Every structure is written in structure tokens, then in C-alpha cells.
Amino acid sequence: VNRVYEGDQFSKMMTSIGQQLADGPTHLQAFVKETFHDGWRRSLEECTEHECMNILTALEHPYAAERLRAFEKGEKTNSLLVSMEAVDSENT
């Protein structure tokens, strides 16, 4: 637990965090979840092949294409998709 909110703030904060997550690259979250669960039943070779296919599929998504172009231009970022500081600033 890294944040605790009073009852009247809780709903507002969870809505804000949920919206930030929804605005992120959810297709990548789905790939990670699927790969994690399938990994229990696959060999290392199968997992590696599956991950390669996921990467190729993900690169077709507009979010990935945008980030790849930025990376190629040297516009690297370490920004978080969900910033708790941004959520906290809504409280003040």
C-alpha cells in the first residue's frame, strides 16, 4: 500500500487512476497477461517464439509505432503511464 484515501476521496482517486490505466497501451497488458499464463504450459522455446510474435504484433499498434519513432529520434522517456504524483496533485 502506497496511498490511503478517506472514504469521500477514494472513489474520485480510483476513477482517476482507472482512467490513466485505460488510456495506456492496454493491448500490451493483455499480451503480458496471456504470455504469463501460457508460460506455465509451454517449453522455453515455445515461450520465446510466442514472445517474438507478441512483439511483432505489438509493433503494428499505433501506440508502439509512435513510441518507436520517438525512440529512433533519441526521444527516450522514463515516464510512468500512471503517475501517483499527478493523482496526488488532484487532491490539493
3 state SS for the chain: CCCCCCHHHHHHHHHHHHHHHHHCCHHHHHHHHHHHHHHCCCCHHHHHHHHHHHHHHHHCCHHHHHHHHHHHCCCCCCCCCCCHHHHHHHHC
Q: What is the pTM of this model?
A: 0.39
Query: Is it the case that residue 91 has pLDDT exceeding 60?
Result: no
What pLDDT, on a 0 to 100 scale, did the predictor assign at position 82? 52
What pLDDT, on a 0 to 100 scale, did the predictor assign at position 89? 56
Kindly list the domain boundaries of the chain, sorted by start residue. Answer: 7-91
Mean pLDDT of 24-46: 79
Convert the pLDDT of each residue in 48-81 to its tens digit.
888 888 888 888 888 888 888 888 888 766 555 5
Of 32, 38, 35, 27, whose CA–CA distance to 60 is shortest? Answer: 27
Architecture (CATH level 2) of domain 7-91: Orthogonal Bundle (1.10)
